[in-house]
Amino acid sequence: MMSKIKLTVAIATVLMVAGCGDAQIRNRSNDYLYSEAIPPMEVPADKDSSAVGELYAIPEIPISVAPATSFNVPRPQPLSENLFEESVKIQSFSGERWISINKPPAEVWPRLRNVLTRSGVPTARTDAPNGLLETGWLQFKDDEDNSHRFRFTITPGVGVKSTEVRLLQMQTLTGSENSTSGWPEVSTSDAREKEFTEIVANALVTDIDSGSVSLLAQKIGGESKVNVVIPESEAPYIAMSLDYDRAWASVLHSLSLGGFSVVDQNQSTGIFLVDFNDAPAVVDDDTLFGLISDLLESRDDEELKALEYQVLIIQGTDDVEVRITDRQNHTLEQLLATKLLKIIRGNLS
């Protein structure tokens, strides 16, 4: 009986203390507001500092903010047509072949590793910061005389938050794997590379619900291939780290979307003549919106000519520049040029 009384008293005491609020147990939920910054860890010069760094680094914003001016509030920027649903497809250009997926590398990297692990493909080497993944030696039932291995190269794609996965295939006689080193410049068997590319692409489609993200792969494969650059005192432009022919083909595809239509093109001079129509969708004429639409459609010819532009593709020293002007090659007002370039950039692929 005495032990039961002591237990009851102990429980009652604990409940009383817990109910006394801050008088007995201090609330520490806001302590972080008073935390102070501490200097980063310093690693001696003769030691490797690659493992020491910011866990959650804040990336730089590649698109600078245009100078503040007085202007009318524009219609909301249209969403990129590449972002409505996930797309995994095999693309080829100028003898190259790759898997294109409109998800960032930080999501594609763990999905690719999951696909290979689930398929029983051994991994011999991984290098997430450089976007490299190499498989072990494999044998196919239709080729018992040779062993094959593959190298995956993952880089940011041309589209917004997209990824490109390239495969390099290598083969050697079965039994001589240990004496084989290095990788060829191109696949030993283009047919085998194509076959395995299709297998991996189909597997990535079925793994579409995998939502993991790799923190190690935040900077996988380097920086973005495409950026909108807005200088303070010059006209804005799109910088594309691609060869000229691929940049041209990518811009041509983009100009068929987002309100643009190509009137004429000349690849040798790097000029697209385009029309741009950002008019709202057609609505019932009996509504107020229909009346407003009619008023907008009643603009005179001089106003309509303001929607005619030319897009210039210029080969620079380090990259390809995409600029937009009016049909007389006059520079557009910076906010308008930035808006149109962002639409082009949003639909690149």
pLDDT digits (tens, 9 = 90+) for 150-187: 999 999 999 988 999 999 999 999 999 888 889 999 99
pTM higher than 0.75: no
pLDDT digits (tens, 9 = 90+) for 230-255: 988 889 999 999 999 999 999 999 99
pLDDT at residue 75 is higher than 50: yes
User: Within a 13 Å sphere around the CA of 259, how many CA atoms are in the beta-carbon half?
Assistant: 21
For 61-65, 197-201, 269-273, which range has the lowest pLDDT when averaged over its residues?
61-65
HSE-up of residue 19 (Cα within 13 Å, Cβ side)? 6
Does 306 score more than 50 pLDDT? no
Which residues, at least 6 apart from 323, have a Cβ–Cβ distance to it below 8 Å? 235, 237, 238, 311, 312, 314
Q: Which residue has the tokens 């991994």?
A: 123
CATH number of 226-346: 3.30.310.170
What is the per-residue pLDDT for 254?
93
Same fold yes or no, 88-217 and 226-346: no
Domain layout of the chain by residue ranges? 88-217, 226-346
Residue 213, pLDDT score: 64
Residues 218, 221, 222, 223, Cα dihedral to 10°: -70
Identify the weakest region by mean pLDDT among 49-58, 85-94, 95-104, 194-203.
49-58
Residue 314 clears pLDDT 90, i.e. is over it: yes
| pLDDT at res. 277 | 85
Residue 205: the pLDDT is 87
Domain 88-217 has CATH 3.40.50.720: no
pLDDT of residue 260: 92
Residue 74 contacts residue 339 (beta carbons within 8 Å) = yes
Q: Dig out the tokens for 35 from the structure.
A: 């935390």
Q: How confident is the model at residue 342 (pLDDT cuts 50, 70, 90)?
A: very high
Amino acid in the structure at residue 25: I
